[in-house]
A and B are shown apart, each in its own frame.
Chain A
């Protein structure tokens, strides 16, 4: 049986390298680098970011000027992905939209991870009444289906006449608020099991203060889990943003996002005759999200091997 061989092989490198504080991190990185698929995913994500944030700088069409003479032109050497109804270059628009979509994805991820981790950690650490209140709220929010909830928020934005250039920030806020309960649950579960572990008992025996226990001893232990969740969360947020914007309830034109660019498909003629208007942003979402998911999964294998897929 392999039982005899595997623990030994695993234990060897750990015993050989000196147990410096960074060695665990270095080890993880080394293992990550060996996972070719994950590295490929990371490379795609990085390229996507660079293209979206730097690409438009080199585009001659970045000013978004209206050119009535080149309306709805199919892809050509001059306009690689064609032009839209106002004669704007679609490739440039896709890259500019990517900036917004990626920013919204990242920002709402940070927000939901921050709220979720904080509330989950507090609930799991203090337990009792605090735990009860936080988790009941989380339960409640999980009961109400996410999409209708987002739709209501989106409708509120429209009714309140929020200026379009602010909507982007509010969409981030919305996605962050809808996503935290699941996260808080997971972090709380981790905290509860960590609390019972020996090193925590030791901290109790040493009489460390609550805040120190929480921040110095417990939180560092859930950081690997958080990194993994956070990574996978970006993909989910990008998808949610695109759905909302597609239905006209998220970020609205003229601010371009991948989701609201696909809105072109709601126009029958554009849908049938001008597929270059809506297919490229769709594929951009797909490629970005799949790359993030593959990378996130590789990270999980490295950082959090116990976690079930």
Chain B
């Protein structure tokens, strides 16, 4: 396990280096930048600014400077917001995290319960309905369902606010503030849960179906255990085990925000920040964000592996 882990971490670092170079080159390759898209500046002023921000240097040198700064914990300076990228991330990431953590939690709870029940009642009408619902949830275009629900629930029925995190001009504090955030959060959370719940339910359903066929489930029944004990103590534990690897894969989604959902619901999260910066060609921020996601992805994969080793008693000792 020790040498395995070291190997994995070294490989992880190499991949991240390669990814950073790729990300940098891609953004550097993209024509146009924050300065040239600003029509108010004179050509001389533009050249001057480019010099200041180091944009006129050759690609490799710029990459070297960027990487050096990244190593010193500096992801650069957002040109559009005139603030350090990391400071901006810190400001927006928690809003993203709030949405993601609640919807992820709901997704898992719903997926486990429905997955278990429909596996147990395989081929029943309930199971058939669940299967169709799973396909439906997996086939919805995320941006469309967001728009559709805003139109119905917010615009037509006026039950929920159409977007944002607070009502415009609100200075609510304390409980009132929390209530307002929850009110605004409901719709995006519903949509994110809906989008995630399909594939996860399907995953748990098929895991459960496999587990229920195992010999040890027959033993548990032969012991005279109650069905709920058989299902939740004996079967679910085994079905959840491989799912632990998924926890790691959720990492980028938890902190990386959802570009589409945050854009549609005007949620002040990091995905929305990305979209704004994208139209402004604010490269330091864009690179920082993409790099952040890459780091989260790599760490998540490693975490999955480690978690699996910890969770499975069969693997633990070896």
Q: Which residues on A are within 8 Å of B, measured CB to CB?
A: 1, 37, 136, 139-140, 142-145, 147-149, 151-152, 155-156, 159-160, 235, 239, 242-243, 246-247, 259, 262, 265, 271-272, 275, 278-279, 282, 285-286, 289-290, 292-294, 297, 308-309
Contact = CB atoms under 8 A, between A and B. Distances in A.
Contacts of A286: 136, 139-141, 144
A110 B218 CA distance: 45
Nearest to B213: A2
A290 B148 contact: no
Of residues B26, B136, B139, B142, which shows the largest number of chain A Cβ atoms within 10 Å of its Cβ? B139
Contacts of A271: 147, 151, 155
Interface string B284-313: 001001100110011000000000000000
Contact of A239 (B22, B32, B141): B141
Contacts of B160: none
28 contacts: A37-B131, A140-B15, A144-B293, A147-B259, A147-B260, A148-B259, A148-B274, A148-B289, A148-B293, A149-B26, A155-B281, A156-B29, A239-B139, A242-B141, A247-B263, A259-B141, A265-B147, A271-B147, A271-B155, A286-B139, A289-B141, A290-B138, A290-B139, A294-B135, A297-B135, A309-B202, A309-B205, A309-B206
Contact of A243 (B136, B142, B155): B142
A145 B290 contact: yes
Given A265-B147, A279-B148, A293-B138, A151 B278 contact: yes
B30 A145 contact: no
A143 B16 CA distance: 8
B148 A282 contact: yes
A293 B141 contact: no
Contacts of A293: 135, 138-139
Of residues A148, A149, A159, A259, which shows the largest number of chain B Cβ atoms within 10 Å of its Cβ? A148
Given A144-B294, A286-B141, A308-B206, A152 B26 contact: yes
A176 B22 CA distance: 18
Contacts of A1: 218
Contacts of A140: 15, 18-19, 22
B27 interface: yes
B248 interface: no
B203 interface: yes
A139 to B, nearest CB: 6
Given A265-B147, A272-B151, A160 B31 contact: yes
Given A143-B298, A262-B147, 5 more contacts: A140-B19, A143-B16, A145-B294, A152-B30, A286-B144
Interface string B249-284: 000100010011001000000000011001001000
Given A155-B278, A235-B139, A308-B206, A285 B144 contact: yes
A272 B31 contact: no
A199 to B, nearest CB: 27
B23 interface: yes
Nearest to A272: B155
Contacts of B218: 1
Contacts of A149: 26, 290
Interface string B119-155: 0000000001001100110111111100110010001
A275 B151 contact: yes
A149 B297 CA distance: 14
A249 to B, nearest CB: 9
A155 B30 contact: yes
